[in-house]
Structure 1
Amino acid sequence: MTTENYELFIMPGCPFCHRVLDYMGEHGIELPLRDITQDREAESRLIEVGGKRQVPCLFIDGEPLYESSDIVDYLAEHLS
């Protein structure tokens, strides 16, 4: 599996982020993580590309996918 086209934007205290991270852990999925509370550049990019500061957000080839349930569904279909 290649992860070069994926980035997951998160915040540590976000329960929806934890839902996605738990799913990834249970299925052995590793993606580049961008903690927007620690990485201001990632936060700016998330807002610039996605138009809002909402996490979790999975960038797929630079296109944002929001909502934890949609992200988990995508991971299940494409990366599990």
Structure 2
Amino acid sequence: MLEEFKNDNKDIALYSVNASKVKDIHPLFRKVDISRDERAAQELVRKSGQMAVPQTDIDGKIVVSFDKVRLNSLLGIKNEGR
């Protein structure tokens, strides 16, 4: 269920339901299916205060939903066209 990794010393986890259906995810993300892992679901609520998915945890910084600008910022990716 989980794919372990490190990327330039960043620990990145994508929390979702049915993570196997997540498309085009970078292979270095750790995919966490909270519908199958109650402990991970509880950890997500503890970290973010909510159960909404998807959520991405980048070195302890939580991004709720898909906020490309914030994700790119946390990952050190330059935003094209800005």
Superposition TM-score, scaled by structure 1 size:
0.67
Which protein shows a greater Rg? 2
Match in the other structure for 1:2:
7
Give 1:12's aligned residue: 18
Residue 63 of structure 1: aligned partner: 61
Which 4+ runs in 1 deviate beyond 2 A?
A: 21-24, 72-78
Code of the aligned partner of 2:7: T
- Give the corresponding residue for 1:37: 35
Residue 44 of structure 2 is aligned with which of 43, 46, 61?
Answer: 46
* Matched-pair identity in %: 20
Distance in structure 2 (CA, Å) of the matches to 1:2 and 1:58: 14
Q: Report the structure, 1 or 2, having the larger helix content.
A: 1
Query: CA–CA distance in 1 between the matches of 2:64 and 2:36?
Result: 20
RMSD: 2.6
2:3 maps to none
- The reply on whether 1:22 has 2:20 as its aligned counterpart is no
SS in 2 for 1:48: helix
TM-score, with length taken from structure 2: 0.65
Structure 1 residue runs without a partner (length 5+): none
**Larger RCO (CA under 8 A, 6+ residues apart):** 1
Q: Which runs of 5+ in 2 are unaligned?
A: 1-5, 78-82
Q: Which amino acid aligns with 2:18?
A: P
